[in-house]
């Protein structure tokens, strides 16, 4: 985001704190992005729409508390979205299934140094579905949403360095799980 766009967004946010009609710009700009983020986690369009609405209702209710801290406004919305999805799964006591495209899977295979063959791809998807939700969210934000470590840290309320460490630990764990499962299948 360039300086002019950032200034415009910050002005709209300040205006939205006083005049809720100005919130429409924020909603229009980020709705699709947040909806798709949630859809990946719940794999249900209707539920995604409901949860996305909750995200924007909470953002609207709390816009007065928002403070710019060097992160895009979207980081704040992602944090709310992560909390809404987590809350949904806690209430429903369900396991999260990860939906992933072939290209996205390739990016993870590259970062885990796992061989690119169908058996390893299948294992990786299986492993992603076995990981705790926070770990899959870290992977998704970094690889699929393109968030920086700094933004991920802001979303999870941790430092940038801690976000890096957590992500690399997850990748290391995934590589180890792939290696173990391949070894056990021989």
Query: What are the sequence ranges of the domains in the chain?
Result: 3-92, 102-185
- For residue 34, the number of C-alpha atoms closer than 13 Å in the C-beta half-sphere is 30
Pick among 1.20.210.10, 1.10.1740.10, 3.40.50.720, 3.40.50.150: CATH of 3-92 = 1.10.1740.10
Would you say residue 141 has pLDDT above 80? yes
Top pLDDT among 170 and 118 is at 170
Task: Work out the mean pLDDT of the chain and round it to a whole number.
Answer: 81
Would you say residue 161 has pLDDT above 90? yes
Q: What's this model's pTM, rounded to 2 decimal places?
A: 0.64
> How far, in Å, CA of 103 to CA of 95, rounded?
24
| Domains 3-92 and 102-185 in one fold | no
* The pLDDT value given to residue 110: 61
What DSSP character marks residue 117?
Answer: S
Which residue in this structure is represented by tokens 């492993």?
A: 127
pLDDT of 78-115, one tens digit each? 999 988 988 887 777 655 455 555 555 565 656 555 56
Burial of 118 (0-12, 13-18, 19+ CB in 10 A): exposed
pLDDT of 13-65, one tens digit each? 999 888 888 898 899 999 999 999 999 888 889 999 999 999 999 999 999 99
CATH topology for 102-185 is Arc Repressor Mutant, subunit A (1.10.10)
* The pLDDT value given to residue 43: 83
CA distances from 162 to 57, 112, 116 (A): 30, 19, 29
Residues 37/48, Cβ–Cβ less than 8 Å: no
Average pLDDT over residues 129-133: 77
């Amino acid at each position: 985001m360039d300086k002019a766009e950032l200034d415009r967004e910050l002005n709209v946010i300040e205006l939205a704190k006083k005049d809720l009609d100005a919130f429409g710009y924020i909603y229009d700009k980020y709705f699709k992005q947040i909806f798709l983020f949630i859809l990946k986690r719940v794999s249900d369009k209707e539920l995604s729409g409901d949860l996305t609405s909750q995200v924007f209702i909470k953002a609207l209710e709390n816009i007065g508390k928002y403070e710019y801290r060097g992160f895009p406004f979207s980081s704040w919305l992602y944090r709310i979205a992560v909390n809404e999805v987590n809350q949904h799964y806690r209430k429903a006591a369900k396991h999260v299934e990860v939906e992933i495209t072939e290209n996205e899977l390739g990016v993870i295979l590259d970062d885990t140094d796992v061989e690119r063959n169908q058996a390893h791809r299948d294992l990786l998807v299986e492993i992603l579905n076995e990981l705790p939700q926070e770990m899959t969210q870290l992977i998704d934000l970094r690889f699929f949403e393109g968030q920086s470590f700094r933004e991920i840290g802001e979303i999870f309320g941790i430092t940038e360095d801690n976000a890096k460490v957590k992500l690399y630990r997850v990748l290391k764990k995934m590589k180890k799980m792939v290696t173990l499962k391949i070894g056990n299948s021989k």
